[in-house]
Homo-oligomer: A and B are copies of this chain.
Amino acid sequence: MTAQRGRPRSFDRQAALERAALAFWEHGYETTSISDLTTALGIGAPSLYAAFGDKRQLFYEAVASYQATHGSFTARAMAEEPTARDAIVRILREAATEYTSPDHPRGCLVISAAQNCSPASADVAKALRDTRNKNLRLLEDRIRSDVDSGILPGDTDAHGLALFAAATTQGMSQQARDGAGREDLEAIAEAAVRALPQSSATACR
C-alpha cells in the first residue's frame, strides 16, 4: 500500500460535497456560481477544480451525496416496505418531514435544483429529469408486480398510480419551498393516501 504523495488536500472532500449540495439545493445549479461555491466550501477556485473537475461534475457528485443522505428515504421505503402501497404511503409521510426540516433547504434537490436551465446546461437538467423518471418507472414496476400477484385490485392503473404518487411528491416539494410546514405537507400526504386503492378487496373507507 503506497502512501499518498505530494501536498495533502487542506479540506475534507466529503464535507465539501455536502456543503455544495446545500448550496445547489437552495439556489439551483446555474444560479449557484463558482464564487458562491468557493465561499460556501471555504476553498479557492483552483482547489475546487483540482478536486472535482468542473462545476458540472461537482454538481453530479453533490447530487450523489444528497441521494445517499437526505434523499435516501424513498429508496429505503421501496426496499423495506412489503407492498407498493405501503412504500407510497411511507414515502409521502416521510417527505412531509424531510421536505420541511429546518436543518437544510426546503423540498427535494433532485426535483428543484435544475428547473430553470439554459440550453448550455440542458444535460444537467436532463440528468435530474432522467433520475426522476427512473424512480417513476421503478415505482410503476413495483405497483404492477403487486397487481399481478393480487395484492392490488386487478383493475389498478399502475402507470397512472405511479404518476399520481410522483406528482404528489413533487407538489409537496414545491409547497415546502413556497412556505408550507410539516403539518401542511402531512395533510397533502393523507389526502393522497385516500386516493390510493385498498390493499386486497376494495373496501368502502
A180 at the interface (CB under 8 A from B): yes
A57 at the interface (CB under 8 A from B): no
Which A positions have Cβ atoms within 8 angstroms of B? Answer: 27-33, 111-119, 129, 132-133, 157, 159-161, 163-164, 166-172, 174-175, 177-180, 184-185, 187-188, 190-192, 194-195, 204-205
Known: A167-B168, A167-B172, A187-B163. A116 touches B115 (CB 8 A): yes
Q: How many copies does the complex hold?
A: 2
B204–A180 CB distance below 8 A:
no
Most buried by B among A119, A164, A190: A164
Known: A115-B28, A116-B30. A167 touches B163 (CB 8 A): no
Q: Who on chain B is nearest to A192 by CB?
A: B195
B27–A118 CB distance below 8 A:
yes
User: 27 interchain pairs (CB within 8 A)?
Assistant: A27-B119, A28-B116, A28-B117, A30-B116, A32-B118, A112-B115, A112-B116, A113-B116, A114-B116, A115-B115, A133-B179, A157-B187, A160-B184, A160-B191, A161-B191, A163-B187, A163-B191, A164-B191, A164-B192, A167-B168, A167-B175, A167-B188, A168-B168, A168-B171, A171-B174, A204-B204, A204-B205
**Which of B129, B172, B195 is A179 in contact with, Cβ under 8 Å?**
B129
How many Å lie between the Cα of A104 and that of B30 in the bound state?
A: 24
How many Å lie between the Cα of A137 and that of B1 in the bound state?
A: 64
A195–B204 CB distance below 8 A:
no
Residues of B within 8 A of A129 (CB): 178-179
How many Å lie between the Cα of A29 and that of B169 in the bound state?
A: 24
Known: A116-B116, A117-B31. A187 touches B204 (CB 8 A): no
A171–B180 CB distance below 8 A:
no
How many Å lie between the Cα of A185 and that of B114 in the bound state?
A: 22
How many Å lie between the Cα of A188 and that of B166 in the bound state?
A: 9
